[in-house]
Amino acid sequence: MNTATTSPALALDIRDASLELGDGDARVRALDSVWLQVEPGEFVAIVGPSGSGKSSLLAVAGALTHADSGTVRVHGTELGALSGNAAARFRRDTIGFVFQSGNLIPALTAADQLRLVGRLAGNRAVDPAPLLKAVGMSARADHRPGQLSGGERQRVGIARALVNAPTLLLGDEPTAALDRARSHEVVRVLAEQAHESNVAVVMVTHDHDVLEHCDRVLEMVDGRLSPAA
Ligand SMILES: Nc1ncnc2c1ncn2[C@@H]1O[C@H](COP(=O)(O)OP(=O)(O)O)[C@@H](O)[C@H]1O
Ligand SMILES: [Mg+2]
C-alpha cells in the first residue's frame, strides 16, 4: 500500500503534527500534537492569541514547511513526502493562499495580477473575467491596486488565489486590515467558494465578528488546537 496517498476524501487531514521553531532558549513548540480534518466544501475558522501557532499551522497545511512529526495529507497526498520542487508544484496546483494584505503587484491591473499567476503555472489561457466576477470585482478589472480600496484589493487577492483552481484555500487573517463591512464581504466570498465551489477553506482570524459565516470554529492555544469554547 502506498501510504503517501490515503484518505483522498478529506481535503486536509493533519494527524498528530508537531513543529518546533527557533534555537536554544528561544525554541518553541509552535504545533503540539495537532489533529485537523477538513472536508471538501467546509469552511473552518481558527482563532487564538498571537503567537499561538496559527500561521505555523497554515504553513504546514500549505506545504510551506514540514512538520517535525505526524502526517499532513492534502487530498490524500502526504506533504511530508514531497521534495522542495514537488511541494512547490503541489502548492501551485492545489492550494491557494490569501494573506492579511492582498500582496498585489502595484504596477499590474486586477486582471493582469490574475493572468500573471496563470502564466507562472504554465496556464496562458486564464480568463480573469469569471474570477473577478465571482468576487464582485468585474467593474474594477482594469484598476491597479492603488486605485482600489482595502476590501477591493483583498477581493482581488482572493480571485488571484483561485486562478489555478485550488481545492484547499488557506487564509491568514485576511480581514485584519479591513473595516467591519468589508470584512464581512471578504469572508462571505470565502464562504461562497467553500459552499458553491466545494473548496475547503481554513481561515485564521482575530475577527470574531465574521465567525458566523464559518461552519466550524477551532481555537489554538500554545500550539494546541481544540474546538472553540
Ligand atoms: N521562524 C521562526 N523562528 C522561531 N520562532 C518562530 C518562528 N516563527 C514563529 N515562531 C514562534 O512560534 C510560535 C508560533 O508562531 P505563529 O505560528 O506565527 O503564531 P500566530 O500566527 O498564532 O501568531 C510563536 O511563539 C512564534 O514566536
Ligand atoms: Mg500569524
- CB 55 less than 6 A from any atom of ligand 1: yes
- CB 225 less than 6 A from any atom of ligand 1: no
Give the domain extent around 196: 40-66+84-227
Residue 183 lies in a domain: yes
> Among the atoms of ligand 1, which is closest to the Cα of residue 220?
22
Residue 161 lies in a domain: yes
- Residue with CA nearest ligand 1 atom 7: 21
Q: What is the mean pLDDT of residues 74-102?
A: 91
Split into its structural domains, the chain has a count of: 1
181-227 pLDDT, tens per residue?
Answer: 888 988 998 999 999 999 999 999 989 999 999 999 999 999 999 99
Can you read off the three cell numbers belonging to residue 1?
A: 500500500
Residue 20 lies in a domain: no
CA of 40 from ligand 1 middle (Å) equals: 28
Residue 192 lies in a domain: yes
Residue 59 lies in a domain: yes
Residue 16 lies in a domain: no
Residue 56 lies in a domain: yes
Q: For residues 36 and 60, is the Cβ–Cβ distance under 8 A?
A: no
- Tell me how far apart the alpha carbons of residues 182 and 191 are, in angstroms, rounded to a whole number: 14
Site of grid cell 459552499: 195
% of the chain with per-residue pLDDT over 90: 75
Q: For residues 30 and 53, is the Cβ–Cβ distance under 8 A?
A: yes
Cα 216 to Cα 36, 109, 123, 167, distances in angstroms: 11, 35, 34, 18
The CA-CA-CA angle for residues 16, 64, 45, to 5°, reads: 60
- Tell me how far apart the alpha carbons of residues 47 and 204 are, in angstroms, rounded to a whole number: 6
pLDDT over 70 at 2, yes or no: no
Residue 23 lies in a domain: no
CA of 129 from ligand 2 middle (Å) equals: 32
CA of 34 from ligand 1 middle (Å) equals: 15
Q: For residues 163 and 87, is the Cβ–Cβ distance under 8 A?
A: no
33-73 pLDDT, tens per residue?
Answer: 999 999 999 999 999 999 999 999 999 999 999 999 999 99
Q: For residues 163 and 114, is the Cβ–Cβ distance under 8 A?
A: yes
- CB 100 less than 6 A from any atom of ligand 1: no
Ligand positioned closest to the Cα atom of 50: 1
For 37, other C-beta atoms within 10 Å of its C-beta total: 15
For position 185, which CATH number holds? 3.40.50.300
